[in-house]
Amino acid sequence: MNTELPEDPQRRRLRERLEVIQIRTDKASSWRDAVRPLRFLLNREGFVPIKTRLASTDLDFLEASRDDLLAFSELSLRLIDLHQPRDAGGITSDTAHPILRCRSCMWRWPCPTFRAITEAFSIGHDMGS
Ligand SMILES: [Zn+2]
């Protein structure tokens, strides 16, 4: 028997918006390899005149990518502001390495939210040793 609560409409809309961004981005061509040689063609005004073939999926991505990336970076910055470590207090035998908990969700640090963000951006966690 499924005992899960029905998904909150706001959460469902957010999930749908994020899935649209994910699919649109995945369908677009990667510019990583194409950009490298173009850097050598920058003119004095700081521009590279290019001719390229863009698929409709690329246009979909380019049309929305700036807004999407601004939204993602804003979201990520807000999340890492919310999810920060704090001293959990209590008695510990290791005063140099006190137990830390997330001040927002109270999980032991690093909390699942912070770990998900660092994994998404491939940022390793330094335990400060
Ligand atoms: Zn947290």
Task: Give the distance (Å) from ligand 1 centre to CA of residue 14.
Answer: 20
CB neighbour list of residue 108: distance below 8 Å, 6 or more residues apart: 88, 99, 100, 101, 102
Residue-wise DSSP of 25-39: HHHSPP-HHHHHHHG
Beta strands in 1-129 (DSSP E): 85-87, 100-102
Task: Give the distance (Å) from ligand 1 centre to CA of residue 115.
Answer: 9
Backbone dihedral angles phi then psi of residue 50, each to the nearest 5 degrees:
-130, 155
Percent of the chain with pLDDT over 90: 50
Task: Give the distance (Å) from ligand 1 centre to CA of residue 10.
Answer: 21
- Range from 2-6, 62-66, 117-121 carrying the lowest mean pLDDT: 2-6
pLDDT in tens, 76-112: 999 999 999 987 776 666 677 778 999 999 999 999 9
Report whether pLDDT(115) > 50: yes
- Range from 2-11, 17-26, 27-36, 68-77 carrying the lowest mean pLDDT: 2-11
Angle (deg, nearest 10), helices 56-82 and 112-120: 140
Tokens of 31: 């510019």
